[in-house]
Structure 1
Amino acid sequence: MILAAGCVLWRRAPEDRGRGIEIALVHRPKYDDWSLPKGKLKHDETLRACAVREVREETGQECVLGARLPTSRYLANGRPKEVSYWSAEAVGGTFSPSDEVDRLLWLAPAQARGRLTQPRDRELLDALLDTTSLP
């Protein structure tokens, strides 16, 4: 079993974009997809620590974890994978493109939902909107 963790990362929308929140999506050139920040658990790392580390590595953002979201389970290259997710508020940082993640987008929830490649990621976004108190 591959264990991983990630976040549905959000921030308050800038004043010039109106009220509400924006969701962070990352583009992974290896898969040419748009997804939520996530990654594999390191030896002796907790799931929460992994989620925060992956957000920092993939988006450049520091974050504060919020509510636990549903766990995704699926096959990755024929192996079972389990990804634990949290809601996380971005509290600052700067994105730097890498080989793993070359683009970061901040989108309104409806736009983010339409851009996400995997249905399981759309379900996580819906869970964030249904279960978390947001501005």
Structure 2
Amino acid sequence: MKKIIILAFFTSSIFANTLTKEEESIVVTEIDNICGDTWCEGDFNFRFDTFKCNAETNSCVLDFVILDEVWGDDDSYSATENEASCEIKGYTKYDQMIEVSRNGWPRLNNDFYFAVSDCVTEQEEVVYEKLGY
């Protein structure tokens, strides 16, 4: 019985998120940090929520919200939340996503940045189509 329980635990842990909670938080924070200089300069705003990786699929899923914000002449505000999710393949390890700068700060690895950028751009296009642009 102990062998079955240990095997079940080991098997389920193989398919669990390959990042620790702290690593996931850093990756999501760094995606959000780069956003202000890239995608967030466009027509939408973004909220990045989770980033879960799976060694079995050799990929991660980024869940986020694309906000279509409207400011009125009378200072009124409204926002439509468009939930988005995309799979980023080939990255499951923290050191594939984050590198440490010379000053000791974490930042997105260049290749990973471009993979995230492609993901976000594809989801932006979905929202543009939904809005009829």
TM-score of the superposed pair, with normalisation by structure 1 = 0.25
Where is the helix percentage greater, Structure 1 or Structure 2? 2
> Which structure exhibits the higher relative contact order, with contacts defined as CA atoms closer than 8 Å and separated by 6 or more residues?
1
State which structure, 1 or 2, has the greater radius of gyration over its C-alpha atoms.
Answer: 2
Where is the strand percentage greater, Structure 1 or Structure 2? 1
